[in-house]
Structure 1
Amino acid sequence: MTWLIDNFSYVWSLTVRHVWLSAVPIGVGFVVALPIGWYADRHPRLRGGLLGAVGVLYTIPSLALFAVLPGLLGTGFLSPLNVIIALSIYAAAIMVRTASDAFGSVSPAVLDAAAANGYSPGQRALRVQLPLAGPVLLAGLRVVAVSTVSLVSVGALIGVSSLGSLFTDGYRRTFNTEIVIGIGATVLVALVFDVFLVLVGRVLMPWASLGRPVRSAV
């Protein structure tokens, strides 16, 4: 505890950076996955191949992807952009399947009723399917958030500082206190993201029950 008090500003700066490196990929992955998931739901014949192709992206080892991206993008090896892009790919890979399932969970009778009332396909997607698919989408987004917060720590192995830096530095110095603080802070950040998403869901979807445990969609 003494070490944490003496180094609080350092740990706090790493926490803020960890939150930033997590929040951007979560948002980008969600925005990218929505139209892909909707398209997959609209075209059942293509759904299996599309979801399979996207799912392959998640099987790429994170450390390998972090190392390859600088050569592909021309970014610096220590650039946080490499971590953001890699984690955005992972986030989208998880969310695409969830988004497809979420849009597919909307009753066809509801969509038929919306079409009978003159809703265009785009209006049905935004004003009917999206709100009704919201609880399933939120469940998937919570899984993405926890996964992303965890994976950000891996970036410390290639020199991109985050709470993972406490793991690597503590391991190098055989200083268990720093390792424990890094693990605890990472878990706390994941919990904060999860609680934040649940609260946002309750505000946007007060009709849905959003406090139940989340099961991974992958």
Structure 2
Amino acid sequence: MTPMATGPVIPDFGTVSPCVRDNGLFCADWFAANWSSVFWPALAQHVRLTVIAVGIGFALAFALALLAHFRRWLVRPLGGLASFLYTIPPLALFTLLVPVTGLSVLTAEIALVAYTLMVLFKSTLAGLAEVPEAVRRAGLGMGLTRREILVRIELPLALPAIVSGLRVATVTTISVVEIAAFIIDQGLGSPIIQGLQSPFNTQFIGAGLLAVALALAADGLIVLAGRLLTPWATMRRSA
């Protein structure tokens, strides 16, 4: 009969690299080994939360900006409301929403959409306001209706300002999604928080680098899309 072993049983975690063993600043081997289980799911969640928030926020802000463009008396109250929502600290807004909508994705998305409204509303409204009055009069002289002037003249000329606002709103949302990890276990904020609670550096540094890369990639894609949609603006800057 084999005698039973005494003392604590130490599990075998396998071999680790010197970087992991010594808790180096960033262990690329550990990052690669945990990409599919830790970092990729968090990155995909981060992208999804951002796209939903910016998409809904843009639709709301665009509609409100058009309404204020035609009803100028709405500019101040709508702009004031959007500015007020933007000034609330993210954690405070999450805390105010939790008793109503709980610790849920809905809570996170409501707050994220609120933070996009001011930038998108003001950039769209500013772009429409910057269209020269002479251009509008020319459209009227050509027999265009007010709606046709909006679609064929004002919106194309306002597009660079709208794209600029979309860039700011997207990058801001990517950063706020990290804070949303305090109420939902999703996005790159989740491995960042978990990493900060442990002495291991690579987890939160890797997630932080991915958030930075995501913001840069999103900004670059929006800039590229803006240039493709407004080739005349690029030609005017290079002239």
TM-score by length of 2: 0.81
Task: Kindly indicate whether residue 91 of structure 2 is the aligned counterpart of residue 63 of structure 1.
Answer: yes
Match among 104, 120, 145 for residue 120 of structure 1: 145
- Give the superposed CA RMSD: 1.8
* Aligned residue number for residue 177 of structure 1: 202
Task: Kindly indicate whether residue 159 of structure 2 is the aligned counterpart of residue 134 of structure 1.
Answer: yes
Instruction: Report which of the two structures shows the higher radius of gyration computed on alpha carbons.
Output: 2
Q: Which 4+ residue blocks in structure 1 deviate beyond 6 angstroms?
A: none
* Aligned residue number for residue 35 of structure 1: 63
What secondary structure is seen at the aligned counterpart in 2 of 1:179? helix
State the Cα distance separating 1:45 from its structure 2 match.
4.0
What secondary structure is seen at the aligned counterpart in 2 of 1:173? coil
What secondary structure is seen at the aligned counterpart in 1 of 2:233? coil
Checking the alignment, whether the CA contact within 8 Å between 1:41 and 1:101 is kept in structure 2 is no
Greater Cα shift, 10-19 or 44-53: 44-53
Question: Which residues in structure 2 correspond to 1:94-109 (within 5 Å)?
Answer: 94-109=119-134
State the Cα distance separating 1:67 from its structure 2 match.
2.8
One-letter code aligned to 1:106: V
* Aligned residue number for residue 152 of structure 1: 177
State the Cα distance separating 1:50 from its structure 2 match.
2.6
Checking the alignment, whether the CA contact within 8 Å between 2:105 and 2:184 is kept in structure 1 is no
CA–CA distance in structure 1, aligned partners of residues 143 and 63 of structure 2: 22
One-letter code aligned to 1:158: I
State the Cα distance separating 1:7 from its structure 2 match.
0.5
Unaligned runs of 5+ residues in structure 1 are 213-218
What secondary structure is seen at the aligned counterpart in 2 of 1:118? coil
Match among 39, 49, 61 for residue 21 of structure 1: 49
State the Cα distance separating 1:184 from its structure 2 match.
0.5
What secondary structure is seen at the aligned counterpart in 2 of 1:207? helix
Checking the alignment, whether the CA contact within 8 Å between 2:82 and 2:114 is kept in structure 1 is no
State the Cα distance separating 1:199 from its structure 2 match.
1.7
CA–CA distance in structure 1, aligned partners of residues 215 and 47 of structure 2: 9
Number of residue-to-residue matches in the alignment: 208
* Aligned residue number for residue 6 of structure 1: 33
Checking the alignment, whether the CA contact within 8 Å between 1:55 and 1:93 is kept in structure 2 is yes
State the Cα distance separating 1:76 from its structure 2 match.
4.0
Match among 224, 227, 239 for residue 199 of structure 1: 224
State the Cα distance separating 1:43 from its structure 2 match.
3.7
CA–CA distance in structure 2, aligned partners of residues 143 and 2 of structure 1: 34
Task: Kindly indicate whether residue 108 of structure 2 is the aligned counterpart of residue 80 of structure 1.
Answer: no
CA–CA distance in structure 1, aligned partners of residues 57 and 186 of structure 2: 22
CA–CA distance in structure 2, aligned partners of residues 71 and 209 of structure 1: 48
TM-score by length of 1: 0.88
Greater Cα shift, 100-109 or 173-182: 173-182
* Aligned residue number for residue 215 of structure 1: none
One-letter code aligned to 1:128: I
One-letter code aligned to 1:89: A
Greater Cα shift, 201-210 or 162-171: 201-210
Checking the alignment, whether the CA contact within 8 Å between 2:120 and 2:165 is kept in structure 1 is yes
Greater Cα shift, 108-117 or 146-155: 108-117
One-letter code aligned to 2:52: V
Unaligned runs of 5+ residues in structure 2 are 1-27
